[in-house]
Amino acid sequence: MKGWVFSLIAAVLLSACSGTGPIYDVDPELYDWVKAPASIHPASDRAPEVDGPVVTFRLERSERHSTLRAAGEWGGQEWRAGQTYLFGFDVRLDPRTLSNEQVNLAQLSRTGDPAADIVSVELSAARGVTVLGRTCIAPSDLRNWHRVEIRIRLTDRDAGYLEVFCDRKPIWARTGMRTTFPPICRRSEGCDTVALRPMMFEVQMGLMSGQGVSRPIMVQMQRLHYRRIFYVPNQVGTL
């Protein structure tokens, strides 16, 4: 009996350690926090539309914001320094609706003083979906469902890491840095700006435009997810 249990544990661990992508399954049904009215960001010009497993985000001309905040599963204890998280979504859209300006599909920010946008998932007609300068979804493939995920260890010391996955394959990764500021920030390299404590963070998914869009835009998302991670067997390293 003990031998069987040991073999089962070993099989699980070996499976978890294979590859460099996220190992966690994502429920095809929407999580409760996605459907909760409290998750709609207060800055939103319009609420997203939920239809079965799909969430539709829209912006009309000159509007800037329609997003959900990733919060609720941990009783208000989400997104604190010292924690590791994975978050992401599947996305598709009609590229003909895009104009020349860039919009964000997701954003991780540190709130407080000074606030900082740490990492954003960007969308543009010219480059499709990009993260930190790397192409995730080409413009020609935006009509099809693709997954974007970010895994991050939040810390103000040179001990954090940030990894970006597209369709569960890594496209960008750095380690040994402060993740309370945009990459790449290391105290050992002179990036020593002070962030006041307690530090709090916010993750949004949907549509964000700094200047307001010049024409209507719509994107669809499914499998919006986030989870706090206590064990990472397959950290990417540097990519």
pLDDT tens digits, 113-141: 778 999 999 999 999 999 999 999 999 99
Place of tokens 């799909």: 54
Query: For residue 62, is it within any domain?
Result: yes
DSSP string of 214-231, one letter each residue: SS-EEEEEEEEEEEEES-
Q: Determine the structural domain holding residue 126 and report its residue range.
A: 2-229
Query: For residue 192, is it within any domain?
Result: yes
User: For position 100, what pLDDT does the model report?
Assistant: 86
Assign residue 215 the CATH number of its domain.
2.60.120.200
Q: Other C-beta atoms within 10 Å of 118: how many?
A: 21
Residue 153 pairs in a beta bridge with: 84, 161
Closest alpha carbon to 220 in 148, 143, 168, 164: 143
Asked whether the predicted pLDDT for residue 10 surpasses 60, the reply is no
Query: For residue 237, is it within any domain?
Result: no
Its pTM stands at 0.89
Structural domain total, the chain: 1
Query: For residue 236, is it within any domain?
Result: no
Percent of the chain with pLDDT over 70: 89
From CA 229, how far away is CA 45, in angstroms rounded? 32
Going from the C-alpha of 20 to that of each of 60, 164, 188, 200, the distances in angstroms are: 39, 11, 27, 28
